[in-house]
Amino acid sequence: MMRVAVDVLTPVQRQRRQRILDAAVGLAAEGGYDAVQMRAVALRADVALGTLYRYFASKEHLLVSALAEHVADLRGRLVERPPRGEDDAARVMDVIRRVTRALQRNPDVIAAMLKSLISSGAGVGEAVTPIGGQMTAIVVSAMRHDSPESVERDRAVAEVIQQVWLASLLWWVAGRAPARQVEEKVERAVLLLLR
């Protein structure tokens, strides 16, 4: 089945897609990953099951797409309220703390999204790329470097930080570490890399 490309959606299609994403997030909030069933999402979003599959190839694709939107929204909020701190490490940790706490407010939702992120479900690959890019951009923007020679290093450092961040979030949602440990692990990496 041919999926609808996000960048060519009409306003009505964008609204329909958003209803689908909202329905999936709502179901995840109520019952986690297992509660997000494609039929239930279609019913809640008031779309035909075939229509749902034209937008999202699998449940995992749907949840990863919802995560991508969530991370993009968080990035937008950080532009409105820039990170604070005296140096790169302090600003990066301000961002990490704010975003991590926002993600941890809905543990069932973020657990469903992250479980989907590491799956091999249909369509997941195309939805994952923007997430890594957005998370890296969040960290880079907190560093506030403008010189061309620092751009490549900043991206490399940011990629390592966001990988530690993602791994720490995965450990938390898997029940292998307490929520506070996400920030502690990332802060250790930030201090090693930026101070």
* Portion of the chain with pLDDT greater than 70, in percent: 94
> 85-123 burial string, b = 16+ CB within 10 Å, else e?
eeebbebbbbbbebbbeebbeeebbbbbbbbbbebebeb
The CA distance from 131 to 147, in Å, is 25
Q: Looking at the domain assignment, is residue 121 inside a domain?
A: yes
pTM of the model: 0.85
Q: Looking at the domain assignment, is residue 31 inside a domain?
A: no
Q: Looking at the domain assignment, is residue 35 inside a domain?
A: no
Angle between helices 148-173 and 124-143 in degrees, nearest 10:
120
> Can you give the residue range of the structural domain that contains 181?
59-194
Q: Looking at the domain assignment, is residue 83 inside a domain?
A: yes
Q: Looking at the domain assignment, is residue 14 inside a domain?
A: no
Query: Which segments in the chain show pLDDT lower than 50?
Result: none
Q: Looking at the domain assignment, is residue 171 inside a domain?
A: yes
- For residue 53, the model assigns a pLDDT of 93
- For residue 28, the model assigns a pLDDT of 96
Q: Looking at the domain assignment, is residue 41 inside a domain?
A: no
What CATH number does the domain containing 84 carry? 1.10.357.10
- For residue 6, the model assigns a pLDDT of 67
What is the average pLDDT value for the chain, to the nearest integer? 88
